[in-house]
Amino acid sequence: MIFCILAISILFSQRVTHNYSGAGEEQVGRDIKIKPLKNHLNTSLKCKTCHISEYPTLKDPGLMSCPRHSMYGEFPSSEEGPEVVVIDEMSENYTGVVFYHRLHSEMSEMGVGCTDCHHFNTSGPVINCRECHSNVRYRENVSVPDLKAAFHRQCISCHKQWSHENGCSSQCHLYNTPENQKNLTKDLTGKKHPKRTEPTKIIYEINCEYGNKVTFYHDEHVNLFRIECVQCHSSDRCVKCHDKKIKLSDNSKTAKIEKSFEEHHKPCFNCHKENACQKCHAGKEMARFNHGKSTGWILKSYHNRLSCMKCHKNQMPVKRLDRNCNTCHKDFVYGKFDHNKTGLFLSDSHKNIECINCHDKNDFTKNPECKMCHNDKFHPAHLPGKKRY
Amino acid sequence: MKDINRRDFLKTAAIGVSMSVFGTKFLKASDESPSGYRIGILVDTDVCVGCRHCEWACKVAHNIPTASLESYSDNSLFKEYRRLDAASLTVVNEFENEKNPSLPVYVKKQCMHCEKPACVSACIVGALSKLEDGSVVWDTKKCIGCRYCMVACQFQIPTFDYDKPIDPQIRKCDLCYDRRKTEKLPACVSICPTEALLFGERDEILRVAKNRIKRKPDVYINHIYGEQEIGGTTWMYIASKSFDNLKMPPLGNSPAPGTSESIQHGIFAYFVPPVTLYAILGTIMWLTKRRSNENKENRIEFEQEKKGVDT
């Protein structure tokens, strides 16, 4: 164990350089110049996301070495990003490529997002590939691929199937003259990826001892549970939709990929950790999620409009909460409580009476009663104020 | 005169034999690897896209006639498993990818440049030699075409110009010996679009390979082919599936020439077999001669006795 820690510390000490050069500009690892995010103290980031040292200072920020496995990056939307990018970094050796950035960024929204290509990009501006990837192949530090490889890996990792068909110069390396480049750019401008259709409900029919039908409400997971696409679709590649081997006449355009039990259930198991197969596998189509039915707590007016996370603070899977108002509403204590928050603005005569006068035994889950003071008034026909919501 | 000539002949023969015995010391493959810069090349089969540009570049670098680079995009060749031949010192083969059938696995094949090469050990004329940087090269002038190296190689790499009736040659990857003289990378490494072939110092390459496996444990199997196999090789492979399924021969970690050389350089060293053989033969001769002498003496004695009796 000690040896392991030692090894890691040696590794870091070799790879991290904290050279400070100029105002507000650090050098991380290789010669990458990164400006710190403006007002980055106010972001939701944890300090440890970027800083190793306990007490980072302006002179010695103690940043983690780059590249590393998971990085925080903020990117513009596909509309805000560039439409066409001309890649001619090594034009002295190779024919340049006119890359349609927008189409690709639209496609990436489905999967991993911008970080699929702009990997290891920290906050701030999008770093140019050549900042990390050397354009010399015969080099000493081979831990990072060279520029030629970096470009090709990004493209061919998806275009693997098609690269064979007509060779390099018929698909990507088309641009040779500035005029040609202009024409290509013109051709591509304005093109858009067709809108991705999202399913509302999928019923999987399978052979399974627990039940041969699995009902999956896709819209529920996206809109209600607010699960990001990446969480389930992280391993989806372009070939999932774009498989040339599948004829267009086929009903399904998507490729069927053999998956193991673990791979198949992984997206579900992310949240549904309980080992209860019958919850999903049933003999018939299952009903939509209903908070009242599943938990016994019927969501009414105000609560119904909240996102799950508003109450169930932690990420999916959610934890069961108790039913005391104070669990969420910390300020709901006598003296401090503002009744207006419930949506019922109490009239002046009711403002200063104690809770228990209307709410019997201080049980706020039950309907309030007026009989303590009024004989002829009942809830909810007669309200002690005005309802605003 | 005749006697002197015979002695001279024996003398030169003895010098010649001893030279050849000591000479093998320089070619001995099972010795400890020399220290210093050792080349390592990592083939990342997960990154390889099977473009076969390496095949084209190899042919161009070795002056082997070839078709245009565009013609290499034809992937119908992958239907059959291809072996090396005198006109192709490297080939790329396609293997099925169970995880994702639409993206097959491609494996490049060429001389592995073993740390302890069996071909060098088997070569009887010392045409093959292991250089300090780890590459295994051969000298065409010395080669007599015995093809022992082809039999010795576990990877079935060296090929023979069977088509050439006059002056056929043994051929295999020489890690672009001529290109490296001018500080250039081997042709295949240089052309690879995705740097699936990573060239560097062997230790550094191993470190990178281990790092890649560590970073993507769900992609790669935890095995670097060539790190330990038959004492280590210059070319090393990482892959997403077992190397047995990629037609990489399952080999132990002990170098192939180890056993044969321990016999050759142990029992056969310092004239042991000939000296023993001649000693045994000499003893037999001496014993037979003594016996026949004794018999002769006995007969003489017997005859003398007989004569004595007669007289």
Residue A38: the pLDDT is: 65
pLDDT of residue A300: 76
Q: Provide the pLDDT for residue A29.
A: 41
Q: Give per-residue pLDDT as tens, A279-289.
A: 888 888 888 88
Burial of B284 (0-12, 13-18, 19+ CB in 10 A): exposed
- DSSP-derived letter for residue A368 is P
pLDDT digits (tens, 9 = 90+) for A138-187: 998 898 899 999 998 888 877 765 545 566 777 788 877 788 888 888 88
CB within 8 Å of B241: residues ≥ 6 apart: B95, B97, B98, B105, B221
pLDDT above 70: residue A272: yes
Report pLDDT digits (tens) over A32-53: 455 666 667 766 667 776 777 7
CB contact under 8 A, A149 and B194: yes
Highest mean predicted confidence (pLDDT) among A19-23, A221-225, B66-70: B66-70
Among the partner residues A142, A152, A169, nearest to B200 by beta-carbon distance: A142
CB B135 within 8 A of CB B113: yes
Choosing among B39, B53, B195, which should be mutated to test the A contact, i.e. which has the most A CBs within 10 A? Answer: B195
Quick one: pLDDT at residue A197?
75
Cβ of A272 under 8 Å from any chain B Cβ? no
Q: Please, what are the domains in chain B?
A: 2-18+265-310 (no CATH), 32-256 (3.30.70.20)
pLDDT value at position B27?
41
- A243 pLDDT tier (thresholds 50, 70, 90): low
H/E segment holding residue B138: strand B136-138
Q: Which residues contact A215 (CB under 8 A, 6 or more apart)?
A: A201, A202, A203, A280, A282, A285, A286
* Cα–Cα distance, A119 to A145 (Å, whole number): 13
ipTM, two decimals, is 0.73
Confidence band, pLDDT 50/70/90 cuts, at residue A312:
confident
Residue A148 to residue B193, Cβ atoms within 8 A? yes
Tell the burial category of B199 from Cβ atoms under 10 Å away from its Cβ (0-12, 13-18, 19+).
buried
Which fold does the domain A84-188 belong to in CATH? Cytochrome C3 (3.90.10)
Local confidence band at A19 (pLDDT 50, 70, 90 cut-offs): very low
CA distance to partner chain A, nearest, from residue B15 (Å) = 47
Q: Å from B51 to nearest chain A CA?
A: 7
Given a contact cutoff of 8 angstroms between Cβ atoms, the answer to whether B267 and B260 are in contact is no
CB contact A308 to B (< 8 Å): no
Helix (H, G, I), strand (E, B) or coil at B192: coil
Query: Bridge-partner residues for B105, per DSSP?
Result: B95
Which candidate, B141, B172, B133, places its Cα nearest to that of B35?
B133
Question: Given this model, what pLDDT does residue B252 score?
Answer: 87
Between B257 and A24, whose confidence is greater? Answer: B257
| Closest approach of A278 to chain B, Cα-based (Å) | 28
The CATH number given to A201-287 is 3.90.10
| Torsion sign over Cα B250, B252, B255, B257 | negative
Considering CB atoms only, which of B75, B194, B211 is closest to A156?
Answer: B194
Position with higher pLDDT, B110 vs A296? B110
Phi-psi region of B197 (alpha: psi -120 to 50; beta: other; left: phi over 0): beta
B192 neighbourhood in chain A, CB within 8 Å: 149
B47, B99, B198 member nearest A153 (Cβ): B47
β-bridge partners, B171:
B159
Q: Report, as an integer, the average pLDDT of A98-116.
A: 81
CA distance to partner chain B, nearest, from residue A68 (Å): 10
A213 Cβ contact partners less than 8 Å away, ≥ 6 residues apart: A203, A204, A205, A206, A281, A282, A283, A284, A285, A286
Q: Kindly list the distances between the CA atom of residue B153 and the CA atoms of A137, B116, B147, B177, B182, in Å, as whole numbers in the listed order.
A: 31, 11, 10, 20, 29
Q: Across the A/B interface, how many CB contacts are shorter than 8 Å?
A: 72
Q: What is the pLDDT of residues A190-199, one digit of tens each?
A: 877 777 778 8
Flag if A152 and B101 touch (Cβ within 8 Å).
Answer: no
Mean pLDDT of A105-129: 76
- Residue in B47, B73, B195 closest to A167 by CB: B73
Residue A64 token pair = 């983690």
Q: Pick from A145, A160, A239: which is nearest to B49 by CB?
A: A160
Portion 54-83 of A in contact with B at CB < 8 A: 69
pLDDT of residue A259: 67
pLDDT tens, position by position, for chain B (311 residues)? 344 455 555 554 454 444 444 444 444 444 445 557 899 999 999 999 888 999 999 999 999 999 988 888 777 889 999 999 999 999 999 999 887 777 789 999 999 999 999 999 988 888 999 999 999 998 888 888 899 999 999 999 999 988 888 888 899 999 999 999 998 999 999 999 999 999 999 999 999 999 999 988 988 999 999 999 999 999 999 999 999 999 999 998 888 887 777 776 666 667 777 888 999 999 999 999 999 888 887 877 777 777 766 65
- Phi then psi for residue B22, to 5 deg, are -70, -30
Q: What are B63's two structure tokens? A: 């002056």
C-beta separation of B236 from B197 below 8 A: no
Confidence check: pLDDT of A60 > 50: yes
B73:A245 CB<8 A: no
B274 touches chain A (CB under 8 A): no
**Pairwise pLDDT comparison (B201 vs A267), residue with the higher score:** B201
